[in-house]
Amino acid sequence: MSYVRSTLSVLWLPAKTSVDILHRDVALKKEKIGMKRKKRTRSWESALVVVSIVLMVAAILDQLRLPPEQRTWHGEIAGVPYDFRMPTLERLRATFWNKETSRILVPKAFGVGWDINLYPFFYPSTRLD
């Protein structure tokens, strides 16, 4: 809120010196740049949310098409892994701290997509692949 007040005061108060005019111009440019960044960020965030929802719905529909005895609630849809089983401590450990692989991105323990395996970051000399 204080940023808005300071910006408005710089923009609307009469400029008395060339320094005031410069400050007003800088404030206008910063405001325009900030608005462009917000719009660009919102569009990426919106696209990411839409893709995530589409993949999640597609994965659930993929499982619901199967007979109940064949549903596993984990697999891949369009090359993206999903797992809707209740996460266990072992699966969480295998996702976030897996010593057996040097892969950084590993399938999520619960949800759609990938998570980060932190083990290779802390022990880079033990990379296997």
Please give the full DSSP string across 65-119, using - where no structure is assigned: TS-GGG--SEEEETTEEEE-SPP-HHHHHHHHS-TT---SEEE-SSEESEEE--H
Structural domain range at position 20: 1-67
Residue 98 and residue 39 in one domain: no
**Segment 62-77 mean pLDDT:** 95
8-60: pLDDT as tens digits? 454 555 555 665 665 677 776 767 666 666 666 678 888 989 999 999 999 99
So what's the pLDDT on residue 92? Answer: 95
35 and 2, same structural domain? yes
Domain check: are 6 and 58 in the same one? Answer: yes
Given a contact cutoff of 8 angstroms between Cβ atoms, the answer to whether 101 and 129 are in contact is: yes
Structurally, the chain folds into a number of domains equal to: 2
Q: Does one domain contain both 22 and 59? A: yes
pLDDT at 124: 84
Q: Enter the pTM of the model.
A: 0.62
70-125 tens-digit pLDDT: 999 999 999 999 999 999 999 999 999 998 888 999 999 999 999 999 999 998 87
- Domain-terminating residue out of 29, 44, 67: 67
Of 36, 67, 98, which residue constitutes the final position of a domain?
A: 67
